[in-house]
Structure 1
Amino acid sequence: MLRTVLTRPFLTDAGLLILRVFTGVLLIHHGYEKLANIENFAAAFVRPLHLPFPITLSYVAAFSEIIGSWLLITGLLTRVGAAAIAGTISVAIYHAIVVNGFNIYLLELLGLYWAAAVLVLAAGPGLFSVDTLIVRKLNPSTEEQAAKLESLLQPETEPEYQSSTN
């Protein structure tokens, strides 16, 4: 048991779980705040970027943060949630730089959210996720695959070799 706990894969997967859950829990309220006053968010953050359909894009931003956070927390369609969050945060970083210049105090939290989303996007959800449970359920184990492959490679009957004598 101690060997399992101290191995790198376990610690990596535990770290990914902690990162996913904390990022999702801390980010989800931003999406709910946007929904609480969507007009104000559109006026303050979308219209200054001169993007079309500011109300629609405001809803997209809010729901990508809410749904993306839930996907990160549960580990279901984790990379989809991480991509949604990374995209939304990328626009938020662009907005912060355009409106306020390179202000590290405004960019540090956005940078951390973006980095967490990109890491989960690149590394995947880890073992402690619904995605992993689904993959394990749909794919047979490695041992079963090896046994099937071995049985396919073994001939059913030994070929009889005829010795030819001259």
Structure 2
Amino acid sequence: MLRTVLSKPFLADAGLLILRVFTGVLLIHHGYEKLANIENFADAFVRPLHLPFPITLSYIAAFSEIGGSWLIITGLLTRFGALAIFGTISVAIYHAIVTSGFNIYLLELLGLYVGAAVAILAVGPGRFAIDELILRRFDPDVRSQTDRLEAAFASTERATGNSSTSVVPDGVS
């Protein structure tokens, strides 16, 4: 029972849910602030980078933060939302470095946002996401296959008496 409660899948999925919700909730207001005064944002952040179409790019940045945040909060198209956030925050990091150098006070929050986006991109949304519900609806056998593989590995570990033994098929290094 204790192993079930403390097992990696549940805690990993709960951790991903917390990461997704906190990142999205804390980031979403940045997008709404951009929309509140888009011309000011374009003048302060886009034009100094000499990028074309500063107003259009400002709207893209605002909507990618708002839309990306909602996507990662709900877990719907989560990796797409994380990619949108990663792209926007990457440009923000570039802007911070170009205008202020390596100022840790400007880069620390941006670094946390980009780290969270990369983690979500790499790992996915976890079980507590709409993406997972959709996957289960259209391919319900996926979870049972995973459970069977985990049970097979657990029985192999019990049979050998060594929990650190890894099984590598022939011909694989």
Cα deviation, residue 142, structure 1 = 4.6
Deviation of 1:70 after TM superposition, in Å, equals 0.2
Q: Distance in 1 between matches of 2:142 and 2:106?
A: 48
Q: 1:56 and 2:56 equivalent? A: yes
Label 1:10 to 1:143 Cα distance change in 2 as closer, same or farther (>3 A).
closer
Matched-pair identity in %: 80
Deviation at 1:76, TM superposition (A): 0.2
TM-score where L is the length of structure 1: 0.84
| TM-score, normalised with respect to structure 2 | 0.81
Task: Please report the RMSD computed on the Cα atoms of aligned residues, expressed in angstroms.
Answer: 1.4
Partners of 1:55 and 1:80 in 2: how far apart? 23
Distance, in Å, in 1 between the alignment partners of 2:23 and 2:144 is 37
Q: Does 1:139 align with 2:139?
A: yes
Deviation at 1:3, TM superposition (A): 3.3
CA distance in 2, matches of 1:90, 1:144: 39
Provide the residue aligned with 1:119 in structure 2: 119
Asked if 1 retains the 8 angstrom alpha-carbon contact of 2:30 and 2:65, the reply is yes
Mapped partners of 2:143, 2:38: distance in 1: 53
Can you list the C-alpha shifts for 1:11-34, whole angstroms capped at 9, x where unaligned? Answer: 111000000000000000000000
For residue 2 of structure 1, report the CA deviation from its aligned partner.
4.0
Distance 1:144 1:44, change over 3 A: closer
**Aligned twin of 2:66:** 66
| 1:56-102 superposed Cα distances (whole Å, 9 cap, x missing partner) | 00000000000000001000000000000000000000000000000
With over 3 angstroms needed to count, the CA separation of the structure-2 counterparts of 1:37 and 1:118, relative to structure 1, is: same
Count of residue pairs brought into register by the alignment: 145
CA contact (8 A) 2:136 2:143 kept: no
Larger Rg: 1
1:140 shift after superposition: 2.9
Q: Distance in 2 between matches of 1:104 and 1:134?
A: 40
Runs of 5+ unmatched residues, structure 1 = 146-166
Counterpart position of 1:75: 75
